[in-house]
Amino acid sequence: MKLAIKGGCKVRTSLFPDQNTMDLCEKEALERVVKAGRPSGYRANKGPHFAGGPEIQAFEFEWCNKFKVQNGSSIACNSATSGLFIACAAIQLKPGDEVIVSPYTMTCSATVPLWFGATPIFADIEPQQFCISPLDIQVRELITEKTKAIIAVDIFGQPADYDYLMGLIESAEEKYGHKIYLISDTAQAPGSKYRGTYSGTIADIGVFSFNFGKHMTCGEGGMIVCEDHELNMRCRLVMNHAESVINDFSQTSKVPDHKMGMIGLNLRMTEFQAAVAREQLKKLDTNIAIRRQNVSFLDDALLDIMPIKQPSSRECCHHTFYVCAYLWDKTFSEGIDRHTYIEAVKAELTPREGRDGEGVQIGEGYITPIYKMPWRSKEEPIFLPVVEELWREELFLTLLHAPNSTMKDMSDVADAFHKVWEYREELR
């Protein structure tokens, strides 16, 4: 039997199902907004419209209930990137401050602090869980008197090590005598849990994403969770033209001095987005369960391919699998490198409906580490060993476990991996 990459027949010839989770419920929700005739309920002034329209307010209320945070803690916005910007503004990040970040995630986790003149300080990541490494932060003494925050990313659906991170922060606050904030970027992990508590609700500020491809989507959108009343109000002001709102407030009541200088942007979610997101929230648990089921199937199916290693999930955590990550162990690969093997597997499969121009949804190495990107070209070079090894040789990801995938779809994926390994001699 020939491998497809060598001219043989593919394991699969039909496209994989799309990842669309929208149906009649979302259509009816959009029609509800159209009939109401109010695509946005926001006003940048004092009064009930400061909190947005009925869909926004209902969505925020439902989010609080779902994730067990006090009502009023959730703040809808137009993207998770905006959410991170809002969070950094709320903690009053400024030039000279430092923010400790992961280099192995969506760039905005590290680049948003740049908008405030702050310096991102890159920590290495955990070799199995891929989140920011508290051990590296501790060993290299990355927390200094300039540290204003740590942004922890719940990467691929798995929570960061919050106990360790909060312990480091507590010690540093005692040492330096000022507040150090913990911000969680939970864009890839809604519904994940750390010791029974939902990710995104543990840190000082948590940020979620609803853009296309996430566990739930309304096209573009985000949510901020912040239970501290002062920080929460700051977030709301930054999201909704702070300077205009504060000016309106000041006509009738005294505004605290520390708010007088605040300026904001229009980072608001529309009623259309909120209406769709409300329906998507209802489906979140089911979609997560399907992802976990499909990943479990694939894990079991690939056990006997020696170079493929399943990374360890963090104990005490509930993983929601934004993607399914594996490690390529060259010790058992008989001289075949990750790229050669993965390209052969991809040749056996097909793209996904609606994204067929993007090729087969299996990727190598995730993203280029952020510290290697052009905006840092004049900065001092950085080398973080775990990130480098994962990026260059070990990590690969499959997105082929969308909510609409069937067991037949997952079997085809497994068969492709097995076929290539069985006929690996053709790759030499």
pLDDT, tens digit (0-9, with 9 covering 90-100), for 355-366 = 888 899 999 999
Examine the fold and report which residue of 279, 305, 339 is the final residue of a domain before the chain moves on. 279
Q: Are residues 85 and 38 in the same domain?
A: yes
pLDDT for position 227:
97
- 3-state SS class at 158: coil
CA distance 300 to 295: 9
242 and 115, same domain (yes or no): yes
Average of per-residue pLDDT values in the chain? 94
CATH code assigned at 402 = 3.90.1150.10
| Cα–Cα distance for residue pair 343/206, rounded to 1 Å | 37
Task: Please indicate, yes or no, whether residues 310 and 253 belong to a single structural domain of this protein.
Answer: no
pLDDT band of residue 252 (cuts 50, 70, 90) is: low
Q: What is the pLDDT of residue 60?
A: 98
Clarify whether residues 259 and 119 are in a common domain.
yes
What confidence tens digit (pLDDT) does each residue in 24-45 have? 999 999 999 999 999 999 999 8
Which CATH number goes with the domain that contains 236? Answer: 3.40.640.10
Q: Do the Cβ atoms of 396 and 413 come closer than 8 Å?
A: no
Pair (232, 341) in one structural domain: no
Can you read off the two tokens belonging to residue 401? Answer: 């476990």
How high is the pLDDT of residue 247?
83
Looking at residues 52-73, what average pLDDT do you find?
98
Q: Are residues 138 and 234 in the same domain?
A: yes
In this predicted structure, the answer to whether residue 155 has a pLDDT above a threshold of 60 is yes
Q: Do 13 and 120 sit in the same domain of this protein?
A: no
Q: What is the pTM for the complete model shown?
A: 0.95
- In this structure, the answer to whether residues 301 and 182 fall within a common structural domain is no
Q: Which tens digits make up the pLDDT trace of 166-193?
A: 999 999 999 999 999 999 999 999 999 9
Per-residue pLDDT, averaged over 207-219, amounts to 95
Helix (H, G, I), strand (E, B) or coil at 412: helix
Predicted pLDDT at 221: 98
User: Of 279, 302, 317, which residue is a domain's last?
Assistant: 279
In this structure, the answer to whether residues 10 and 113 fall within a common structural domain is: no
**192 vs 159: CA distance, rounded Å:** 7
Q: How many domains does the chain have?
A: 2
The pLDDT value given to residue 403 = 79
Judge if 119 and 180 occupy the same domain: yes
pLDDT of residue 379: 86
Asked if 240 and 169 sit in the same domain, the reply is yes
Where does the pLDDT of residue 251 fall: very low under 50, low under 70, confident under 90, or very high at 90 and above?
low
What is the DSSP-derived secondary structure letter of residue 392? Answer: I
Output the pLDDT for position 19: 87
Report residue 378's pLDDT band, with 50, 70 and 90 as the boundaries: confident
pLDDT at 213: 86
Q: Which domain holds residue 347?
A: 4-20+284-427
Higher pLDDT, 354 or 427: 427
Last residue of a domain, one of 248, 279, 310: 279
- pLDDT of amino acid 250: 64
Please tell me whether residues 171 and 291 are part of one structural domain.
Answer: no
pLDDT score recorded for residue 46 = 84
**Alpha helix segments (H runs only) across 91-228:** 108-111, 134-139, 162-176
